[in-house]
Structures are given as structure tokens and as C-alpha cells.
Amino acid sequence: MNKWLMTFFILVIAGLLVGFSNFLPSKDVTIWVFDVGQGDAIFIDAPHKQMLIDGGPDELVLERLAAVMPWWDRSIDIVVNTHPHADHLAGLLPVLERYKVSQVLDADEGYDTPEFAEYLKLANLHRGILAGDVTVDLGDGVHLKTLWPPLAYNDNILEDPNDGSIVFLLEYGQTSILLTGDAGVAEEDLWEVGDIDILKVGHHGSDTSSSQEFIDRIKPEIAVISVGEGNDYNHPSTFVVDRLIRAGAAVFRTDEVGSVRIKMQDDEYFVKTFPF
């Protein structure tokens, strides 16, 4: 065989092996806070399991998942709906239609919308209720402790569904990440949590969350705000952003930086942004 042709084949094979190595199992844990506009969608890629928390307001989450998952991977182990508002729920509908999902978790909040009715239909036998002092184990030391709600809602419709948001404390190695959904100030006072590394800021940076007392207590180094550009709610609140900055947190807003990736390796974490 011509030596130049041989060299070409070697380079092609080497390139394929390097690309494939990106999808080989590792001990790294990656958390994506996707830019899905005015909504929440958080994807956790652990060594043995994948978990999607909320899906944003529309099908854009499918593009985000396709950008970070191998093309052949059409399954997600756990899907969580923190609460039934459309900006967290609607994007889960196409995910549940197009991916094989082993378990669907929520806090059994009731809600009277077509989107929620479709969610219940799609979740069906895979649905489980998550509340109280429960830990979701993703394997290899990746744990998500449920801080809220203390009890399931038994299909009751809350006056403010935001207050029923599932809240997780994710811990891996020496790194801790607080995932707050849209829970408000009153709920923050009830969570047993102290100093953390990373905060997914509550309710898209609204001043209904992230009180000064709360920020002083948890002392985040990094604050990620999932928020849509030019949204009608004036999120995030300038008071909340200033509060976080004064506390020493580096603030990442999805409307400004795109999707935010947090990679945890051993006892370190690294934050990088991507324009999608």
C-alpha cells in the first residue's frame, strides 16, 4: 500500500479513537445548566447514570441534549419535574416521547393544565413520588439529597406551585451544588444547608428567592441563573445579582453566556460556558 495512503488511514483511525474516547466512562461528573430561554433544564451526567431536572418551556431542550449526549444514546435514567409550571415542565413532554426514561419523579403536586395532563400520561408507570428526607443515588458517590418538600402533596394544587419545588443538594467529593427550582424565601429558611460551592439561583433570579440571610448562610462561590433574554418578568432582579456579587460569588447568566457546564473531578470543579 502506498505510504501516503497508509498515513491517511492511520490519521483517520487515530481521529476516530480520540473522538470515541470522549464518550468512554470516567469518574468525572458533569452538570449542564442549559440555556433554554425563560425556564430551567439541568442535565447531570454521572459515571453510571444520567438525570434531567426539568425541561424548559419548549422543545429546545432536545437540541441541548443532542449537543452533549452521544448520538446513539437515546435513554435517560431519571427525569425530575420540580414543579408543574410550563417553563419547567413543557420541555419534558418531547423528552419523554423521544427518550427511553427509566424513572420519572415529582412531588405529586396537582395542576390543571393540558401540559400537566400530558405529562402524567407520558410518565405513566414510570412515575414515582419524591419528597421528604430522600437521597437519589447516581452511583460512584454522586448523591442528591432532597431538601424540599418535606411531604408529598397528594395531588393537591398549591396556591403558588413555585413553593412546592423539589430542591436538591448535590454532593460529589468535596463539591456541593444547591439546585433550588423556583422555591421562595420562606422555603429557603427551612432547608438544612450551610456553606456550599455552587448555587443554581432560585426562580430565575427573582427577588422572591435568594434573600440576604440565605446568601450569607450558604456563601456560594459560583451562582448560575437560568433566565431568558429580554424576558417579561425583568429576571434576574438587580438586587439579587448585586447580593450575590457582594457575597463573593461569580455570577453566570444563561441569557448572557449560554449553557453553563460544571465539571467535577476528584475534589475540584471547573466551570465553562458554551454558546448554545
- Alpha-helical runs (H) found in 82-166: 86-89, 92-98, 114-123
- Mean pLDDT taken over the chain: 92
Per-residue confidence (pLDDT) for residue 101, from 0 to 100? 98
Long-range contacts of 186-195 (CB under 8 A, 24+ apart): 187/148, 187/163, 188/214, 189/213, 189/214, 190/148, 190/150, 191/147, 191/148, 191/167, 192/147, 193/147, 193/169, 193/217, 193/218, 194/218, 195/219
Q: How many helices (H) and strands (E) does the chain have?
A: 9, 15
Predicted pLDDT of residue 16: 41
In percent, the amount of the chain with pLDDT more than 90 equals: 89
Residue 106 φ/ψ, nearest 5 degrees = -155, 180
Please report the pLDDT score of residue 266 as a whole number. 80
Q: What tens digit of pLDDT does each residue of 48-66 get? A: 999 999 999 999 999 999 9
Q: Is the pLDDT of residue 36 over 70?
A: yes
The lowest-confidence range among 59-63, 194-198, 230-234, 265-269 is 265-269
Query: Taking a C-beta distance cutoff of 8 angstroms, is the pair 44, 136 a contact?
Result: no
- Given this structure, which CATH class describes domain 26-274? alpha beta
* pLDDT (mean) for 7-31: 54
Band of the pLDDT at 275, cuts 50, 70, 90?
Answer: very high
Q: What's the whole-model pTM score?
A: 0.90
C-beta separation of 68 from 118 below 8 A: no
Q: Which grid cell is 216?
A: 450569607
Arithmetic mean of pLDDT, 84-106: 98
Element (H, E) at 78: strand 75-80
Whether the predicted pLDDT of 135 surpasses 50? yes
pLDDT, mean of residues 91-115: 98
Of the candidate ranges 15-24, 80-89, 183-192, 236-245, the one whose mean pLDDT is the lowest: 15-24
Task: Find the mean pLDDT for residues 99-123.
Answer: 98
SS3 167: strand
Confidence (pLDDT) at 2: 55
Residue 91 pLDDT > 80: yes
Distance CA 271, CA 23 (A): 20
User: Residue 15: what pLDDT?
Assistant: 43
Task: Give the mean pLDDT of 239-249.
Answer: 98
